[in-house]
Structure 1
Amino acid sequence: MCVGERHYTRHGIRPILENHISDIIMPDITRCGGPSEMKRMATMAEAYNVMIAPHNPNGPLSTLASSHVCAAIPNFFKQEFIFNDVPWRDTIISHPLDIQNGQLVLSKRPGLGVDLIEEEMDKHPGLREHRDGFYI
């Protein structure tokens, strides 16, 4: 069983770990508190022999942020990411995601390895609606 995409911070996953509810947790870096908190959640999960498979139906920047955390933890299982949802996905970052044999290869460039192209991002603002407690 895999849970956690809507659990926030290490305090939110504590009951899951203490009660041995799941073998895998799937924090979402955009919701759990960012890279530092995801790393703390992974460290806590490791103490319970629980793997991490980050939830990530998001854009390339959150894919890279999640992947950098995954590269730094021993209990990484799999990384969810969307590779071809919109044709302009890689135009909002300075370097496209490097996918080789179904695996994301992290660059050696500083930070997350990309810069945001703000002019391109302005062309694709996304939806800002709230429906039944969910955001889009």
Structure 2
Amino acid sequence: MPEQSIPDVRKSVTVAATPEHCFEVFTQRPGDWWPASHILVKKERAGLAFEPGVGGRYYEWDVEGTEIAWGRVLEWEPGKRLVMTWRIDGHWQSIPDDERASEIEVDFTAVDENTTRVELAHVKLHKHGEGAFGIFKALEGASPGETLERFAKAI
């Protein structure tokens, strides 16, 4: 499969909360929903955080204080949308910058006054280079997927 033809992976979940609350939980409490198996630090992970606003990092740190950025925020619209780079290579290892990073888009859409549809999309997967199709295959399973399933429970 040619690199450019790797499709986006889109998953969604509908939760009983406002878009503003969903955005808050997603960005202020990542430790409540982030899958434990998604880890880049070599030692035991001590925490996860988003730096608010465009240009902010989302990163983790280990018990010794070593930090690894998962990426940078490209769009920050509280209650509406979050877009960030995803700094991994085709073998699920950390990369130091956004040159070969794909992107993650998270949209928070009100269904009614107390319900929100949260859609998470992995886009530009071809940027991972060799191994990109393997990443696509790992991500493409049934919706909502582990991350959004955990997020829904955190709400």
TM-score > 0.5, shorter chain as reference: no
TM-score, length-scaled by structure 1: 0.26
Higher helix share: 1
Higher strand share: 2
**Bigger RCO of structures 1 and 2 (CA < 8 A, at least 6 apart):** 2
TM-score, length-scaled by structure 2: 0.24
